[in-house]
Amino acid sequence: MHLEFKLSDRHKRVLQATVNHYVATAEPVGSKVLVEEYNFSVSTATIRSCLSYLDKSGLLYQPHTSAGRVPSDSGYRWYVDHLMTPNVKTGKQVESLLQEKLNWQWSLEALFKSAAQILSSLSGYITLITMPQAQNARLHHLQLVAVDSDRASDGSHYRAMLILVTDTYQTHSTFIDLPKTEEEGSQTLEQVARELQVLSNFLNHNLKGRLLTELEHLDWTELDSEFERYGEQLTQVLNQFQQHHATSVYTDIWMSGVAELLRQPEFSQLHQVQALIHLLEEEPTQLLPLIVQVPDREKKGSRVQVWIGSENPLEPMQSCALVTSSYFRGSLPVGSVGVLGPTRMMYENAIAVVEATAGYLSDALS
């Protein structure tokens, strides 16, 4: 929704003051309040005329005939597109707090969970952070670890655990039954471990930095003859990883702040928020098309996407606003950060919080 009609400077000031006052108080705004609190050096009759014009334009409306005006979804949209500037101070505070509180030695899941909790506490809204997208992950390290086991399915004496670590700190592992050899009975676990370490070094040399979706592309002819016996099983396992990650989508969303949202007057009654809570808790994957946006790199300025009220295609969210931004690893968008709150949202702060967090995660992952 992009409203291109023009407003006079006075109409802009009245709209901005109305939005600011309603966001702060959740009370409809009248001409007397605007004149007294926002330094309009004109009569209340002049402000009433401005309010009436903005009402007829669809930017404001009266919830009751005797009440003042409140912003419509279109009014918030015009405000966000034309009148609002993100709060730089808030953005810097968020970035500083994330640097202070988050520790990249944690698991990635713990890190993102903690980031979501920090943001919901700061913003007063629900925070949504997707885990890095699997198909854009690259291999950081691979290790084959020998395991002394009698459980190998083909009856061989040893197994190996294949461990993959991505550049987004996610770990994947699986067991491989090592192929039998004529001299296997005389091999010790230490000898097998040394052999697997040499093989691990070869695999790291050839695969490190590759996308997980490319792991099956390995020239096994470079293997020494003593390692050729691993080729078939490793190819099968790497193909399985490739197929899994080639079709994977964002499946993990760290969410925090439902209690924060319930403190907003719009959602003070349970019946007002039941459908939204059901969506968030039972069907969160429906949010993915809204949260996960492919940024338009030709568009200058902010990469933030703002959905306001009826712009949201999901009915339970049509009393809400959703602010999202992608975070990157290098030039690739790999995940998203978002805050979800009422349309009566402090957009200056919400956008600054989301931008700062996406920037922090991009810098950290890169």
pLDDT tens column, 97-142: 999 998 877 777 888 889 999 999 988 899 999 888 755 677 888 8
Tokens of 191: 């000898």
**Residue 320 domain-assigned (yes or no):** yes
- What order do you get walking across the sheet with 332-342 strand by strand? 253-256, 126-130, 332-342, 320-329, 305-308
Q: Could you tell me the maximum CA-CA distance found in the chain, to the nearest angstrom?
A: 100
248, 271, 304 - which closes a domain:
248
pLDDT of 301: 46
pLDDT of 152: 44
Domain with 103 in it: 88-133+251-364
What single DSSP character describes residue 148?
E
Instruction: Clarify whether residues 301 and 261 are in a common domain.
Output: yes
**Residue 2 domain-assigned (yes or no):** no
42, 58, 83 - which closes a domain:
83
Please say if the pLDDT value at position 195 is more than 90. Answer: no
Mean pLDDT value across residues 56-81: 93
Instruction: Clarify whether residues 105 and 152 are in a common domain.
Output: no
Instruction: Clarify whether residues 346 and 273 are in a common domain.
Output: yes
**Residue 4 domain-assigned (yes or no):** no
- How far is it, in rounded angstroms, from Cα 230 to Cα 249? 31
| Residues 55 and 61: beta-carbon distance below 8 Å | yes
| Residues 211 and 136: beta-carbon distance below 8 Å | yes
Instruction: Clarify whether residues 230 and 291 are in a common domain.
Output: no
What single DSSP character describes residue 54?
H
**Residue 146 domain-assigned (yes or no):** yes
Task: Give the CATH number, domain containing residue 77.
Answer: 1.10.10.10
Instruction: Clarify whether residues 237 and 264 are in a common domain.
Output: no
Please say if the pLDDT value at position 299 is more than 50. Answer: no
What single DSSP character describes residue 357?
H
Instruction: Clarify whether residues 356 and 262 are in a common domain.
Output: yes
Task: Give the CATH number, domain containing residue 228.
Answer: 3.30.390
Instruction: Clarify whether residues 156 and 102 are in a common domain.
Output: no
**Residue 239 domain-assigned (yes or no):** yes
- How far is it, in rounded angstroms, from Cα 35 to Cα 140? 61
Task: Give the CATH number, domain containing residue 350.
Answer: 3.30.450.40
- How far is it, in rounded angstroms, from Cα 54 to Cα 79? 12
Please say if the pLDDT value at position 331 is more than 70. Answer: yes
| Residues 115 and 190: beta-carbon distance below 8 Å | no
Instruction: Clarify whether residues 222 and 146 are in a common domain.
Output: yes
41, 66, 83 - which closes a domain:
83
pLDDT of 216: 61
Instruction: Clarify whether residues 195 and 298 are in a common domain.
Output: no
Please say if the pLDDT value at position 32 is more than 80. Answer: yes
Query: Cβ contacts of residue 116 below 8 Å, gap of 6+?
Result: 127, 128, 129, 254, 255, 256, 257
> When comparing pLDDT for 57 and 285, which is higher?
57
- How far is it, in rounded angstroms, from Cα 288 to Cα 285? 5
Tokens of 45: 């009759």
- How far is it, in rounded angstroms, from Cα 29 to Cα 35? 11
**Residue 124 domain-assigned (yes or no):** yes
Write out the H or E segment, with its range, that includes residue 90. Answer: helix 88-101
Question: Where do the DSSP E strands lie in the chain?
Answer: 60-61, 70-71, 126-130, 139-148, 158-166, 171-177, 253-256, 305-308, 320-329, 332-342
Mean pLDDT value across residues 196-224: 75
Instruction: Give the count of domains, the chain.
Output: 3
Per-residue pLDDT band at 298 (split at 50, 70, 90): very low
Please say if the pLDDT value at position 185 is more than 50. Answer: yes
**Residue 29 domain-assigned (yes or no):** yes
| Residues 127 and 253: beta-carbon distance below 8 Å | no
Mean pLDDT value across residues 1-29: 88
Residues in the chain: 366
Write out the H or E segment, with its range, that includes residue 189. Answer: helix 189-207
Of 106, 112, 160, which Cα lies nearest the Cα of 132? 112
Instruction: Clarify whether residues 114 and 175 are in a common domain.
Output: no
Instruction: Clarify whether residues 270 and 359 are in a common domain.
Output: yes
Instruction: Clarify whether residues 242 and 256 are in a common domain.
Output: no
